[in-house]
Amino acid sequence: MVIISIFNIIWSVKIFRRQYYQSESFSLDDSVSHESLLSYASRTPGGLVRIRGARYKRERVLNVCTWIFIISCAYRSVFLTIDMNQTCWFDNPLNWIVFRHAVQTVGLLAWVFQIASVQYILAKDLRRNSYGMRVSSVVVFLMAIVGECFGWICVSTNNYLFCAIREISWTLIFVLPCVGAIIIYNEIMRRRGRVAIPTVFGVGCGGYVLFLFLCVLIRTVRIVDYSVDYLGQEKTNCTFPLIEGLKRLARCDKVRRDMMTYWQEFLWMSPTVTFCVWSSIWLSVYPTELYLWLWA
């Protein structure tokens, strides 16, 4: 997982460097005179178009969110833990559950903010900025906050019921953007057809829909897993009070450094974190690519 995180960081630097230079100067022909495009750009004497204004700022905000998410995933891949039984890879404060889970929460909220913002931006660019789209974007981010609150209760109390509720929240977080992305994809097809649809890493809006659908399936499986664990947990009654559980997060009860202890963590995190990081990079680049394609 450490190797995967290093690869993701290096790749992200390369992508964002390319994006920076493309953002500084886009070569467009003289036929580009769309009023909405020129409101976000200024033409230089050499015939180049320089992106500026609100769109440039939004692009930078999305980039910052991407880096927050990438760094949080890298941190989690180095300081491995098994939250429910307080097992850590290193016996130091950086590996305590409370810090790792806090970093995870910040990273996930930054990623969901990207998902919600990009839905709003794409809908606005396609003139589908309906009330439902705006409300959906806000609801997605609020649900992420609620879901992470249940996540904190879950790891504090060791009660799998709250873990299942968290996964239900995350399932809905992916369902709403998936529906919104389908609407956006259909609007793209209606306007320009399938000719030269803009892609990032060879993935367009259709690939993004597929990714969100797979996230829904994965979260649904985890709901079932946690529900089964909760039914078995009722017989043992091995939960903790919330305040006592929060105090337990500031230490490691067990220290294990063998791969067999963390094999489920590796199996779960390696593919999901990698694809989620790639989706975060995609989200920071695609809105500008689609906008220039629409109005070029």
pLDDT tens-place string over residues 101-116: 899 999 999 999 999 9
Q: What is the CA radius of gyration of the chain?
A: 21
Name the packing angle between helices 97-125 and 131-157 (round to 10°). 170
Q: How high is the pLDDT of residue 147?
A: 93
Q: How high is the pLDDT of residue 192?
A: 62
Q: From CA 246, how far away is CA 106, in angstroms rounded?
A: 18
Tell which wins on pLDDT, 53 or 157: 157
Q: From CA 229, how far away is CA 211, in angstroms rounded?
A: 27
Of 294, 270, 259, nearest to 55 by C-alpha is 294
Assess contact for 167 and 161: CB atoms under 8 A.
no
| Cα-based distances in Å from 192 to 115, 185, 228, 233 | 24, 11, 47, 54
Lowest average pLDDT, out of 33-47, 76-90, 234-248, goes to 33-47
Phi, psi of 254 (to 5 degrees): -135, 145
Look at residue 238 and tell me whether its pLDDT is greater than 70.
no
Q: Which residues contact 229 (CB under 8 A, 6 or more apart)?
A: 160, 163
**Where are the chain's structural domains?**
2-295
- CA dihedral defined by 100, 101, 103, 109, rounded to 10 degrees? 160
The winner for highest mean pLDDT among 196-200, 234-238, 277-281, 285-289 is 277-281
Lowest average pLDDT, out of 145-159, 161-175, 215-229, 260-274, goes to 260-274
- Sequence-ordered alpha helix ranges (H) in 30-130: 35-38, 53-78, 97-125
Q: Given the structure tokens 């078995």, which residue do they identify?
A: 232
Confidence band for 196, pLDDT divided at 50, 70 and 90: low
pTM of the model: 0.81
Of 109, 87, 107, 110, nearest to 97 by C-alpha is 87
Compute the Cα dihedral for 180, 186, 192, 194 and give only its sign.
Answer: positive
Q: Given the structure tokens 């996540």, which residue do they identify?
A: 151
Look at residue 23 and tell me whether its pLDDT is greater than 50.
no
Q: From CA 43, how far away is CA 50, in angstroms rounded?
A: 6
Query: Over the stretch 166-185, which tens digit does the pLDDT of each residue have?
Result: 999 999 999 999 998 898 88
DSSP states of 108-169 as a string?
A: HHHHHHHHHHHHHHHHHHTT---HHHHHHHHHHHHHHHHHHHHHHHHHHHT-HHHHHHHHHH
Look at residue 217 and tell me whether its pLDDT is greater than 60.
yes
Residue 35 CB neighbour total at 10 angstroms: 7
Greatest alpha-carbon span in the chain: 75
The average confidence (pLDDT) of the chain is 77
